Structure 1
């Protein structure tokens, strides 16, 4: 009942029931009781309450077990408190509790998300050496971490090892491996993985997006378009990143009329062009007047705020305060965008202004962006 109430986030009722249990005198709580409470608070992201229960159970004479520590490590890792998760892991080992597969998987994921990729790999090796058999979740985490480190060959090797160990990949596995193979340039192998995947899972939009992006980057616009159409024919609605992948393929091939049709189709499907969409269009502008004209037309179709910003950018006055103010208002409008997207967009805007002969304006835009921490090193 305590577990059920905790899952339902009925925390007052959960505490009341615990009080009844203690007051009854015949049915004392156990470590399992407290573990369920810690888990319930953790799922609701009430980390402080979970830690409070952890301390209370010890004050009442209950020794935390492996499940207690694993639950707390997982809670802190998912919330981004890497150092606290590591402290709990060390404390658990100091108390003589040996990590199991779940604990190791949580720690590998925790270290990987914290950017400590070498430490994550060492933890995985320690897990194997201590006789803990990886499960599907562990393999997925390791494949993803190797891909994140750009060790694509290693990612594919772990995938093969997983299959040899008798584990059937799930949709997460297939997606990560397809991406790794695509980065290695093994396009046909990635398609073969997709074919295998379809026997066990129903592909979603991001999976099709990997194929569109893969063939687009390989310079095979026709295959990229075929997969884009296959997604739609399969009853799926493309997302903006997938539309951007096909758009990028068209632009690299200088197929501007098809790029224009795609932009219009995206708008018709309710896909509002993103900062990345506009960045792609800005980046394809050359100093050729004819291509610049076509790109301006494409940029106007997007209706993106960056186009309004560029279209109404004033000529720089002495001191450049008018351009600075105009840029500041635009960056205020873009405040919810992630830093990477903003940085890419500003870089493209500055480059575009240079190509358009507006060097003073380009410098002012860059300065304001640097002041707004778009470039974290400045």
Structure 2
């Protein structure tokens, strides 16, 4: 049993922190931080709230270690969760991640306060997002019961998402199977993360097996579940299967959103099924989903790919009226196609629209335009072409 008296605390191996390179770095302090350190050397009693205010006022994040050292020597030493978290966040911003390891060891030995799930959620975020130390994020998750704190589903899912984002799918599966030991209740978000990971590594069959797990845990898949699966199907040129999934969604009263429709429109466009993409654009509006610029842009690319320039021109005009700017690539492909078909009048329109939308034709494009127009009219003058 570890005594919590002040004298015993000083016997804990705290020099791990104070003698570390992080501590050496922290000895160079700003004028403001020096004033804070001087305040901690005073014998005036400080409440935990006052100490936290001092910690949050530091201009140099690495000075946090020095504050901890001075505070731990005071008789009013009473650290709490906000104080510890403030140190960890500051050390994270200073990239002093080894010092965070030492501090976590110290907290576990001191046991001065109870720590909440939110505390560990933030520590895991520092390890995973700021430090890139996924292994430490996993260790922190597994160590939570040693701090008398059990992870929430939210914290558990954070670790799963870190692993999936890092493409560590086998490790993600191991963590997933540890949920019962950690007392974590699997939810729809957790299964969605697994589906995302399996789709990303091309294991579509396994992803659909996870879809079958939803009823077993008394959860309903949501639109994000289906959009992830549909994206994977479209990437694997299984657009018809994606539409079958859309039908299943709607039968189950799960309504598609704009993101999902965009995935399907993009899938149709890649297969050259532009007519269906146009119909889907209209359908999404009937379903109450507002198309985004990318919704229109995908259909526009499909029309250009199919060399349906008259329809593409109409869509571009419609987009501009709606305040949506067609992409530079759209204009480039449009002009190349119109020049190829010797549609000089439409080339003139496309160039003017392009300039009005803030794009500048490049030299190669001008050469193509001039070559096309000159072949139609040897007396062509560029200046008069642009002012018509």
Instruction: Report the TM range for the smaller structure's normalisation.
Output: 0.5 to 0.7
CA RMSD of aligned residues (A): 4.7
1:230 to 295, 308, 318: 318
For 2:175 and 2:206, how far apart are their aligned partners in 1?
A: 16
Q: 1:60 to 1:3 in 2, by over 3 A?
A: closer
Q: CA 1:28–1:231 in structure 2 vs 1: closer, same or farther (change >3 Å)?
A: same
Structure 2 counterparts to residues 21-100 of structure 1, below 5 A: 25=112, 27-39=113-125, 41-42=127-128, 44=130, 46-48=132-134, 50-57=137-144, 60=147, 64=151, 66-92=153-179, 99-100=186-187
Question: Contact between 1:187 and 1:215, CA under 8 Å: does it hold in 2?
Answer: no
SS in 1 for 2:323: coil
Residue 328 of structure 2 is aligned to residue 221 of structure 1: no
Matched, 1:190 2:277: no
2: CA distance, partners of 1:205 / 1:36: 36
State TM-score, norm by structure 2.
Answer: 0.57
Q: 1:106 to 1:146 in 2, by over 3 A?
A: same
Which residues in structure 2 correspond to 1:1-378 (within 5 Å)?
10-12=89-91, 25=112, 27-39=113-125, 41-42=127-128, 44=130, 46-48=132-134, 50-57=137-144, 60=147, 64=151, 66-92=153-179, 99-127=186-214, 131-182=218-269, 183=271, 184=273, 185-196=275-286, 199-201=288-290, 203-244=291-332, 246-247=334-335, 250=338, 253=341, 255=343, 258-259=346-347, 262-263=350-351, 265-266=353-354, 269-271=357-359
SS at match of 1:186: helix
Shift of 1:254: 5.2
**Aligned residues, how many?**
284
Q: Which runs of 5+ in 1 are unaligned?
A: 285-289, 295-300, 302-378
Given that 1:212 and 1:227 are in contact with CA atoms closer than 8 Å, whether structure 2 keeps it comes out as yes
Larger mean Cα displacement after TM superposition, 265-274 or 155-164:
265-274
Asked whether the 8 Å contact 2:187–2:217 carries over to 1, the reply is no
Deviation at 1:256, TM superposition (A): 5.9
Contact (CA 8 Å) 1:213, 1:246: kept in 2 or not? Answer: no
User: What TM-score comes out, normalization by structure 1 length?
Assistant: 0.58
State which drifts further: 137-146 or 176-185: 176-185
Distance between the aligned counterparts of 1:22 and 1:169, measured in 2? 51
Alpha-carbon contact 2:296-2:319 (below 8 Å) kept: yes
Output the CA distance in 1 between the equivalents of 2:199 and 2:299: 26
What is the rounded CA distance, in whole Å, between the counterparts of 1:56 and 1:151 in structure 2?
A: 43
Q: Which residue of 2 aligns with 1:347?
A: none
Residue 245 and residue 191 in structure 1: after superposition, are their counterparts in 2 closer, same or farther (change >3 A)?
farther
CA displacement at 1:158 relative to structure 2: 1.8
**CA displacement 1:198-239 (0-9 Å, x = unmatched):** x443x3321110221233334432221111111111112222
Give, in whole Å, the separation in 1 of the partners of 2:267 and 2:348. Answer: 31
Distance 1:161 1:3 in 2: 47
**Distance change >3 Å, CA 57–CA 190, structure 1 → 2:** same
